[in-house]
Amino acid sequence: MGKFETLVLVPRMEKTEPKGMFKRGSTVRVWISQDERQLPIRFEVEFKFGAGVATLMKYKPPATKSVSLSTDPIPTGTINDATDTGS
């Protein structure tokens, strides 16, 4: 699919007790494309015994041309590096 300018989100449980994979010390990272589509390009979960990675290989836009882009800020997550390039 090429190269993308991405925003890397690292969600954290800071205001509540950690639950699920966060309770076990896992780290999650999500790479979101910084174009009008805001595609989830890559998803990575690190565990104590290894890591799981999912990478977007193909994208087919919706059949309709109307796209609603939200201007609301991202509700959760910590931005590590706004200039990171995911593939």
The answer to the question of residue 78 being in a domain is yes
Task: Read off φ and ψ for residue 68, nearest 5 degrees.
Answer: -105, 115
Tell whether 19 is covered by a domain: yes
The pLDDT value given to residue 64: 76
The whole domain housing 48 covers: 4-82
More confident call, 44 vs 69: 44
Residue 33 lies in a domain: yes
> In this structure, is residue 39 part of a structural domain?
yes
Do the domain assignments include residue 87?
Answer: no
Which residues in 28-66 are b (16+ Cβ under 10 Å) and which e? Answer: bbbbbbbeeeebbbbebeeeeeeeeeeebeeeeeeeeee
For residue 50, being part of any structural domain is answered with yes
pLDDT of 75 higher than 60? no
**Number of independent structural domains in the chain:** 1
16-57 pLDDT, tens digit each: 676 666 666 678 899 999 988 888 899 998 877 888 899 988
